[in-house]
Amino acid sequence: MDRSANLHLYRMTIRQAAKSMNVSERSVKKAIELLKSGRSDLFAAVEAGSVSLHRALKLAKPEKYDKPRDGLKALVLAWHKANEVERHLFLDRVTNGER
């Protein structure tokens, strides 16, 4: 039985799991988050070593982990997430110089 995929069966604390697998508690928390995302394919890729845990989380939860690094990217992302009314309000404010 794979211990990393079945921590709940061992009733371990995060600290105990981290110590037994020689990883940080943060890594255990992130692995649990990846499991809860339902992306077993990504979890398997992490276990196999073909994808990092960080990269897997970015793929599983891009809204949380794939944040834009600059203002322009943030604007583009916000534009695509906005509905038509929000886009019109935004354009009105930008055109009129409002903040």
Q: What integer is the mean pLDDT of 32-51? A: 92
Q: DSSP per residue over 41-90, as a string? A: HHHHHHHHTSS-HHHHHHHH-HHHH---SSHHHHHHHHHHHS-HHHHHHH
Report the predicted TM-score, pTM, of the whole model to 2 decimal places: 0.57
pLDDT at 78: 87
10-14, 36-40, 48-52, 57-61 — which is least confidently predicted? 10-14
pLDDT digits (tens, 9 = 90+) for 6-28: 555 667 888 988 998 899 999 99
Question: Where do the structural domains in the chain lie, given as residue ranges?
Answer: 7-65, 67-99
Which residues lie below 8 Å from residue 47, measured CB to CB, with a gap of 6+?
2, 4, 5
Residue 41: Cβ-neighbour burial (10 angstroms; 0-12, 13-18, 19+): exposed
